[in-house]
């Protein structure tokens, strides 16, 4: 029987090849693990930041909703006072006294010189019109403020939606890491 001789050079080549392949796989595995850990940490930090942003938005929305409720309550109280003032007017003298509480415009309402029971303007219909104008003005102010607050609520909700819809870069990094692992495996197979 013939014996096969191996030269020391062949043994060294095989040992180096085995050494490189076994360690290259570990280097690639550790690199991929570090890359994935870094990606996960970045994603975690981004999620924590997004949650803080969402909490701040929710607090702002709650505050604005409280302002809307307060505006509506104040408007309702003012309208009640105006309605009571208008409903209490029965005589021209009461109308003359009530006009300054409903408008800042000086109407110079006065008793007619030829008839002390009459006013130079038709006071009762005038007081009804002025009362309705004042009610409309108060409601318009409340609606205008509510519109501003609702606009801010919508802006906060839109900012929250943008934060929630933002694609997580973790998946992109994971794909890149998988490509690196694939490349490492291909190099390992080629060296084999």
Mean pLDDT of the region 145-149: 92
Encode burial over 145-177: b for 16+ CB neighbours within 10 A, e otherwise.
bbeebeeebeebeeebeebeeeeeebeebbeeb
Quote the pLDDT of residue 3.
57
How far is C-alpha 180 from the chain's CA centre?
39
**Inside any domain, residue 3:** no
**Inside any domain, residue 63:** yes
Rounded to the nearest 5 percent, the helix, strand and coil shares of the chain are 80, 5, 15
Q: Record the pTM.
A: 0.51
Q: Which residues lie across from 111 on neighbouring strands?
A: 119
Q: Please give the mean pLDDT across all residues of the chain.
A: 80
Q: Which residues lie across from 112 on neighbouring strands?
A: 115
**Inside any domain, residue 5:** no
Residue 127 has a CB neighbour count (10 Å cut-off) of: 25
Is the pLDDT score of 106 beyond 70?
no
Mean pLDDT of the region 114-140: 79
Q: Which of 190, 59, 78, 151 is nearest to 182 (CA)?
A: 190
Q: Which residue has the tokens 């850990």?
A: 37
Is the pLDDT score of 105 beyond 90?
no
**Inside any domain, residue 160:** yes
**Inside any domain, residue 6:** no
Q: Which of 75, 71, 83, 74 is nearest to 131 (CA)?
A: 83
**Inside any domain, residue 119:** yes
**Inside any domain, residue 130:** yes
Is the pLDDT score of 145 beyond 80?
yes
If one compares 44 and 191, the residue with the highest pLDDT of the two is 44
Are 102 and 127 contacting, i.e. CB atoms less than 8 angstroms apart?
yes
**Inside any domain, residue 4:** no
The structural domain count of the chain equals: 1
Residue 102 belongs to what domain range? Answer: 12-191
């Amino acid at each position: 029987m013939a014996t096969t001789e191996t030269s020391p050079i062949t043994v060294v080549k095989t040992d180096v090849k085995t050494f490189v392949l076994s360690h290259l796989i570990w280097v690639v595995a550790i690199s991929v693990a570090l890359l994935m850990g870094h990606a996960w940490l970045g994603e975690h930090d981004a999620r924590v930041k997004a949650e803080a942003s969402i909490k701040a938005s929710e607090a702002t929305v709650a505050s604005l909703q409280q302002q809307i409720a307060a505006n509506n309550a104040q408007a309702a109280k003012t309208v009640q006072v105006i309605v009571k003032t208008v409903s209490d007017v029965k005589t021209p003298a009461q109308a003359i006294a009530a006009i300054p509480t409903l408008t800042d415009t000086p109407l110079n309402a006065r008793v007619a010189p030829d008839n002390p029971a009459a006013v130079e303007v038709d006071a009762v219909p005038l007081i009804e019109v002025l009362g309705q104008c004042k009610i409309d003005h108060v409601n318009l102010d409340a609606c205008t403020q509510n519109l501003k607050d609702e606009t801010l609520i919508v802006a906060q909700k839109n900012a929250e939606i943008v934060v929630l819809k933002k694609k997580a870069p973790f998946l992109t990094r994971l794909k890149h890491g998988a490509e690196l692992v694939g490349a490492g495996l291909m190099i390992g197979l080629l060296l084999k």
